């Protein structure tokens, strides 16, 4: 009866993992918009009053986005000098209507990269650059907070919330706000979404955002006041990394309401995930894009975006890369928003429209369609270059436009631009979509799976051991490669002095408080895997689930296996009359891995002390407590008296678990 129950356990774990992958598949699925023309007709967009793109510089607005500046007193002064150049040369050359600065304006991390706090000097540097560069006279500067701008900040009214005094918008809009730009005959609304935690803990548990019900209602009020043109929402935290304070608030509602007045959500925050995902773009079920911009901190990236006759286009660039080339008509096929944009006007347009920027005169600008003949682009006005075309020749499938531009400093730019007029689109990067749309519940599921794998097998062995009174040996432990591994766990669960504290340690990680400490300087809070309580406020967990998974994966699981191995070796030594020589090198070879695991967990415990104060170390029930308990159980496992095994030997005497002539199978 033991084997079927183990099979049932494995089946349950398999179902849980399958559910996780099903959730993943659902998240990364993109709806097919093959019938987008009919959709546009139903929305009344394809009518005679809609303006058609031609060869003139009108109904075209462009802007810049920059994110994750991380201005620091202690790291990489090049971020500051390059940012000065961006504010002077880049802004002056592009002449954007708006500059969006989407969070993490400062670094706010102590030397040593563990502790965190807001440094007024970093904010002064940021403020000095944007004022002395003269950007306020060239454009509208819209900045907003990121999580680094909110480290160790008890409230938006706190003196340590330097965003209020040293940013462009903080003194007028301490949190979310909107700005409406009048350009030509259109009005463009930019909604800045501040989803910073309030209060703002110190790192590492200040990574996700939180959209409160009050914040959501304010966002809805902003949307009601907008005029009927494309709206660009911008913020720091990606949509799926916003925790909601009210279950009625949908994550998708942050992006838009699936009507043609909504637009893309522009954000930062995730950098490039250590270079693994350089581009993170996705299309939500609302029909709106979410476009994460790589960081300025290490990669010096920024974005040029434009709205041309109601169609949104963008290109992400590295600082100092000239010339800049952005094709605005026809729009790139991958980034179309068929339920939002008037895409049918592309079919009626008379010219290919391309924005070209460079601080130096352009000496050559050419384009070719579908690898045809190169044709010279004509300068229309300002940065707009045009080329007459006949869209009726490209009504089906995906086509390409290649653009080549050269300035008089011999700087060159080559762009390959894909477009379609029938709704065909390339595929988004699967990894990029997965990262952007990875719901917080995935972290909960991963933690739940690891916790299940950590404690359930041991509990099952204990249950079967008690129920079958030793006969499990014949049913589970055959003469194969798994024999010794299972026997070690079987022996471990038999010793109650080890089993019950070990199981309690694992279960505690999912239910008990991890530590008490200064979550914010001067404010003591308590941290659980499912959230943090500080100053009477509950901050839902998110990063904590991944940290909990790391705890189980790097400490609890290895420690369990190593503890069972220590006990097994001690058992063999007892059975063989203490024949194993007790030398230093013998001891180290058998216990080195255990020492490494305990040292690792000790380093983690010290890290919590550096982040949240000495209290977090001495009252670190999970981290420091695990180290203490690990040492105690380890010592107990290798010093159990011989009498502790007598009943065990009697229990298994009728079952061939270890050959009588085995001394030490590992030697």
C-alpha–C-alpha distance, residues 10 and 23, integer Å: 20
C-alpha–C-alpha distance, residues 318 and 279, integer Å: 13
Q: Name the pLDDT band for 223 (thresholds 50, 70, 90).
A: low
Three-class SS state of 654: coil
530 vs 441: which has the higher pLDDT: 530
Run of H or E including 49: none
* Residues 313, 419 contacting (CB under 8 angstroms): no
CB atoms under 10 Å from CB of 339, counted, come to 23
pLDDT at 463: 83
Run of H or E including 101: strand 98-102
C-alpha–C-alpha distance, residues 651 and 357, integer Å: 82
Q: Name the pLDDT band for 408 (thresholds 50, 70, 90).
A: very high
pLDDT at 253: 46
pLDDT in tens, 478-518: 555 667 788 888 889 988 899 999 999 999 999 999 999 99
Q: Name the pLDDT band for 260 (thresholds 50, 70, 90).
A: very low
Distance of CA 342 to the CA centre of its chain: 32
Q: Name the pLDDT band for 255 (thresholds 50, 70, 90).
A: very low
pLDDT (average), residues 442-461: 90
pLDDT (average), residues 603-632: 94
Average pLDDT, the chain: 83
pLDDT at 49: 55
543 vs 405: which has the higher pLDDT: 405
In 3D space, the residue among 315, 306, 320 whose CA is nearest the CA of residue 359 turns out to be 320
pTM of the entire predicted model? 0.84
Q: Name the pLDDT band for 24 (thresholds 50, 70, 90).
A: very low
What domains are defined for the chain?
58-329 (3.60.21.10), 440-651 (no CATH)
Determine how β-strand 375-376 pairs with β-strand 378-381. unpaired
Concatenated DSSP letters for 270-302?
STTTTTT-S-EEEE-TTS-EEEEPPPSTTT-EE
pLDDT at 230: 52
CB atoms under 10 Å from CB of 424, counted, come to 17
For residue 539, pLDDT beyond 60: yes
pLDDT at 246: 42
For residue 16, pLDDT beyond 80: no
């Amino acid at each position: 009866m033991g084997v079927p129950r183990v099979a049932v356990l494995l089946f349950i774990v398999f179902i849980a993992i399958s559910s996780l992958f099903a959730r993943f598949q659902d998240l990364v699925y993109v709806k097919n918009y093959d019938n987008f023309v009919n959709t546009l007709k139903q929305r009344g967009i394809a009518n005679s009053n809609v303006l058609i793109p031609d060869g003139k510089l009108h109904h075209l607005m462009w802007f810049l986005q920059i994110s994750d500046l991380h201005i620091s007193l202690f790291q990489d002064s090049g971020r500051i000098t390059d940012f000065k150049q961006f504010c002077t040369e880049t802004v002056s050359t592009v002449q954007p209507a708006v500059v969006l600065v989407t969070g993490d304006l400062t670094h706010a991390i102590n030397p040593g990269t563990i502790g965190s706090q807001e440094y007024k000097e970093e904010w002064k540097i940021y403020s000095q650059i944007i004022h002395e560069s003269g950007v306020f006279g060239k454009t509208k500067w819209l900045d907003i907070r990121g999580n680094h701008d909110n480290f160790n900040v008890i409230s938006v009214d706190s003196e340590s919330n330097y965003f209020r005094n040293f940013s462009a918008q903080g003194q007028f809009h301490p949190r979310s706000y909107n700005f409406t730009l009048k350009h030509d005959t259109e009005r463009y609304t930019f909604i800045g979404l501040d989803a910073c935690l309030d209060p703002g803990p110190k790192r590492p548990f200040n990574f996700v955002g939180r959209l409160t019900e009050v914040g959501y209602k304010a966002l809805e009020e902003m949307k009601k006041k907008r005029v009927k043109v494309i709206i660009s929402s911008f913020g720091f935290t990606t949509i799926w990394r916003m925790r909601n304070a009210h279950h009625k608030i949908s994550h998708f509602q942050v992006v838009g309401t699936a009507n043609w007045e909504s637009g893309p959500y522009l954000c930062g925050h995730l950098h490039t995930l250590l270079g693994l995902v350089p581009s993170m773009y996705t299309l939500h079920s609302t029909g709106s894009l979410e476009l994460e911009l790589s960081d300025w901190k290490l990669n010096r990236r920024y974005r040029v975006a434009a709205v041309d006759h109601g169609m949104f286009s963008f290109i992400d660039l590295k600082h100092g890369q000239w010339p800049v080339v952005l094709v605005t008509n026809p729009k790139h096929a991958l980034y179309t928003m068929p339920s939002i944009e008037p895409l049918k006007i592309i079919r009626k347009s008379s010219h290919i429209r391309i924005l070209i920027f460079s601080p130096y005169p352009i000496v050559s600008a050419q384009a070719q369609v579908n690898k045809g003949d190169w044709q010279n682009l004509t300068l229309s006005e300002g940065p707009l270059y045009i080329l007459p075309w006949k869209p009726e020749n490209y009504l089906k499938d995906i086509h390409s436009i290649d653009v080549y531009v050269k300035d008089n400093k011999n700087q060159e730019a080559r762009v390959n631009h894909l477009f379609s007029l029938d709704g065909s689109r390339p595929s988004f990067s699967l990894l990029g979509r997965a990262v952007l749309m990875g719901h917080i519940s995935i972290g909960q599921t991963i933690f739940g799976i690891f916790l299940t794998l950590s404690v359930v097998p041991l509990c099952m062995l204990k249950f079967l051991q008690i129920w079958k009174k030793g006969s499990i040996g014949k049913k589970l432990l055959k003469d194969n490669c798994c024999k010794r591994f299972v026997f070690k766990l079987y022996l471990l669960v038999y010793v109650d002095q080890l089993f019950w504290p070990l199981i309690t340690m694992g279960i505690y990680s999912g239910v008990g408080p991890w530590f008490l400490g200064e979550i914010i300087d001067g404010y003591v809070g308590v941290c659980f895997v499912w959230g943090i309580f500080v100053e009477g406020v509950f901050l839902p967990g998110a990063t904590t689930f991944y940290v909990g998974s790391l705890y189980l994966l790097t400490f609890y699981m290895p420690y369990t296996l190593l503890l069972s191995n220590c006990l097994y070796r001690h058992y063999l030594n007892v059975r063989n009359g203490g024949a194993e020589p007790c030398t230093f090198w013998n001891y180290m070879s058998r216990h080195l891995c255990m020492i490494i695991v305990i040292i690792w967990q000790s380093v983690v415990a010290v890290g919590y002390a550096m982040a949240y104060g000495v209290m977090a170390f001495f009252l670190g029930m999970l981290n420091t407590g695990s180290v203490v308990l690990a040492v105690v159980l380890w010592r107990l496992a290798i010093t159990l008296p011989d009498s502790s095994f007598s009943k065990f030997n009697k229990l298994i005497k009728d079952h061939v678990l270890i050959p009588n002539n085995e001394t030490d199978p590992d030697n």
